[in-house]
Amino acid sequence: MKILILTHRVPFPQNGGYAIVVCNTIKGLIALGHDVSLVSLDAQKYSGGSHEQDELQNKINYTSYKVNINVSMIDAMVNLFRKKSNNVDRYYNAEFEKLLVRELKQNAYDIIQFEGLFVTPYLASIRKASKAKLVYRSHNIEHQIYQRLAQQKSDLFKKWYLRLVAKRIKDYELEQLNKFDAIAVFTHQDESAMLSYGTTIPVEIFPVGIDLARYKPDFSKTEFPSLFFLGSLDWLPNREGIEWFIDNFHKDLTEGDLRVKFYVAGHNIPERFDDYEVMGKIFIQGEVDDAFEFVNSKAIMIVPLLSSGGMRVKIVEGMAMQKCIISTSLGAEGINYTNGLNIMIANNQEEFYDAIERCIADEEFCKSIGLNARKLIEQQHEVNKVTQDLVKFYTNLTKA
């Protein structure tokens, strides 16, 4: 099959959930003998500067196009009085659209997969230019993120603004769904939501698939006890969650009975987070050179997500690295976990405190959680198995 993957950001380097999911899908498709092309918007907000050529780029037909998605203060103010969602509109670029149409005229694809909502502004042009089956892969139900963010805000203006953003995104998001030939989601929760919105096209669940050969846990390098958070803080749910955690546990970690070091690492950590640092107790490390080494060196992973959707790749990766993970039920959504066996679920301050207290006191318990987590990922998230199921889905679509 000839397959085109369309992304709103360059998935290289493979250092975030979106990039990992996209690239693992491509690897799985190539391994099964399919011809894969990737066309990416190179959004200025996400550009990390120059980086080494990823070996995956040599195995596919790859094109990227630079666009500026930054929004000025004036644009933000004007957007308050518009009915459309600027969160999506800013990804539209007329020249990129022409590039796409040229690509489609030169190549006849069987499947075109839209990786998320922010590439849907090109849907109409692609539909006109190609006879391919169009698949929408929903990484998140985007409006739900803003609805949940609004629920967490006490500031009335911020609450009102986030609700406004959520409504506009929802109006746009629901308008697009039945324009595709099929939808792929990561979780049962997202499948149920899609169907509740009146979706009439096929909706199928494909969990996050990862290449287990890349995940090599090494307990000899692990500092026990230690807590860590790893995630990009330019994603609002991550930033909200880690702020909530530090605000609620700063005193317990620095002056109280939780005698454990806490490490925060990830992309785009704001400078103001340096104020949280306490020598020898809380470490704000920023972006790390080797995420695998960082995860190997720490014992207990904290995922305090309060507003999210889809499946969190960092949890799947943490489980593959045999980490003991403490997460909200929302953060672990879509993973077929058993609380207390292969993950610890905590949904409020008291539950987080109790889980941390138990974990830092019992290294063998933490190891058993991690070992069971790895078994779960081996059974349900191995990339080749997930990709085989995805290809069956594609094949049935092309026959319809």
* pLDDT bucket at 361, cuts 50 / 70 / 90: very high
Amino acid type, 392: K
**pTM for the full model?**
0.89
| Better pLDDT: 267 or 388 | 388
Burial class (CB in 10 A: 0-12, 13-18, 19+), 244: middle
Residue 157 is predicted with a pLDDT of 87
Amino acid type, 259: R
User: What average pLDDT does the structure give for the chain?
Assistant: 92
- Domain locations in the chain? 2-209+383-399, 213-380
2-209+383-399 and 213-380: identical CATH topology: yes
Answer whether residue 309 shows pLDDT above 80: no
Percent of the chain with pLDDT over 90: 77
Q: Which residue has the tokens 């987080």?
A: 352
| Token pair listed for 302 | 């904290």
Answer yes or no: are the C-beta atoms of 126 and 97 closer than 8 Å.
no
Tell me 297's DSSP state. T
Element (H, E) at 42: strand 35-43
- 2-209+383-399 domain in CATH 3.40.50.2000? yes
For residue range 115-145, list pLDDT tens digits in order.
Answer: 999 999 999 999 999 999 999 999 989 888 8
| Token pair listed for 303 | 């995922």
What does DSSP say about strands 182-185 and 203-205: parallel, antiparallel, or unpaired? parallel
Picking from 147, 107, 153, 139, the residue whose alpha carbon sits closest to that of residue 126 is 107
- Which residues have a Cβ under 8 Å from the Cβ of 338 and sit 6 or more positions away? none
* pLDDT bucket at 70, cuts 50 / 70 / 90: confident
- 213-380 domain in CATH 3.40.1370.10? no
Percent of the chain with pLDDT over 70: 93
| Token pair listed for 339 | 């609380």
* pLDDT bucket at 224, cuts 50 / 70 / 90: very high
Based on C-alpha coordinates, what's the Rg of the chain?
A: 21
Answer whether residue 91 shows pLDDT above 80: yes
